[in-house]
Amino acid sequence: MDGPVTDLLDGLDGLDAGAPVRQASLVDLLDRVLATGVVLSGDVTISLAGVDLVTVRLRALISSVHEERPG
């Protein structure tokens, strides 16, 4: 599995138990996610007695967009 979450967690492999841990802030995490982008996908189905009543499907792409202005 590759992606932004994997990239964020890759640095954990080489941590020493006695080394100080650097805490990432929410801003750092958002900056990294928006720089690479992330795709969210999921399905939720609510059923009663084997009959599907409601199905919700989520497909979302979250990324930053940079506009180039002639300058």
Model confidence at 2: pLDDT above 60: no
Q: Is 31 helix (H, G, I), strand (E, B) or coil?
A: helix
Task: Using pLDDT thresholds of 50, 70 and 90, give the confidence band for residue 55.
Answer: very high
Give 19-52 pLDDT, tens digit per residue: 565 677 888 887 887 788 888 899 999 999 999 9
β strands within 1-71, DSSP E = 38-48, 51-62
Look up the pTM and report it. 0.40
